[in-house]
Amino acid sequence: MERRARDWLDAGGYFEWAPAERNAQKFNIFHAEFGDPEAPLLLMVHGFPTSSIDWQDVAGELSSSHRVCVLDLPGFGFSDKPKGAGYTLHRDSELLGYYVVEVLGAHKGDVVAHDRGDSVALSFAHRCSTGQTSFDISNLVLSNGNIFLPLSNLTEFQRLVLDPETAPATVAAITPQILAAGLGQTTFTPRRALDDPAIVALADTFAVNDGLGVIHDTIQYLMERSEHEQEWLEALAAMTVKTIVVWGLYDEVSPLRVASHVWNNYLSTKPGDNEFWLLPRANHYLQNDQPREFAQVLRAASSGSSPQAPGALSAEPGAPIFLDRSRSQLPTAQETLARTGG
């Protein structure tokens, strides 16, 4: 294991957890916390097929102002990855509740999610809003994930490992290094080769506990998402929790049209002072491509210091771009002209 992955592993530890259903298998869950334990809580939820190591650069940016907390969901990273364990979004949202309340002893904080983690976070937010978990989400941040599948652009690899007929041969033909290199070439901007430390770390974490052996199981979240997508989005639209959408421009798997659709149809007029941001130099892994800018957005949105009008956060090249803020309802064209004097 190379240094980046080793440093991440050494920074954390483990706790034991079992889902609530009867006779459920127990898991050893990797987690890590950074920053002042008394600072505002920031829970970061990773995506597929990676792990909490995705947040390594962002954690460093934010630990000076927040208690940054991460964990590897079952089937990912340094956590247990038993075959046939049933890796569901519902279970993962239950795990988040256990982690923040029982392990961290927290009852309030921000939740920042990416990719598959967006779906876990939406399920978790529903648990919190319905009283199933005694945790109050102050701000919910969703970033580059297929949160509206009809507008997604799933890769051929995703489709092959999703299908039980083609998954075995597909998985048998790859190695942790091949999978990591493929991600480096397609989901990072600029592209990253296998000698890049972040890509080496991905390969290292894929290899732990034979992560490739459960990749067909863990990607089944897409099927679960397809069943609950509409209800989760409608539930989100009714929640008062402030929701911030942050998107990397160059993403071709979860393209900007996904975020735009969700914003326009579910978030732009939802309760709460919601925000929509763009990182103009980032791809799918925006937290790796532009970690400093990602942190800038989180700080601005959570502190209420975001711009009032659309535009770049600063004059720096690659600065985050504020796209929109929610309102109770859109004005008519006539009202807009009357207000501006145009």
Separation between Cα atoms, residue 189 and residue 175, nearest integer Å:
23
- How far from chain centre, in Å, is Cα 4? 21
Report if pTM > 0.85.
yes
> CA-CA distance, 179 to 192, in Å (whole number)?
13
Nearest to 141 by CA among 164, 120, 159, 161: 120
Each residue's pLDDT tens digit, 172-223: 999 999 999 999 999 999 999 999 999 999 999 999 999 999 999 999 999 9
Residue 161 above 70 pLDDT?
yes
Q: What is the pLDDT of residue 340?
A: 59
pLDDT in tens, 122-136: 999 999 999 999 999
Q: How far apart are CA 166 and CA 322, in angstroms?
A: 42
Sign of CA dihedral 33, 31, 247, 340: negative
Does residue 167 have a pLDDT over 60? yes
Is residue 267 packed enough to be buried (19+ CB in 10 Å), middle (13-18) or exposed (0-12)?
buried
Quick check: 40 and 76 in contact, CB under 8 A?
A: no
State which CATH number among 3.40.50.12160, 3.40.50.1820, 3.40.47.10, 3.30.70.100 fits the domain covering 3-152+214-340.
Answer: 3.40.50.1820
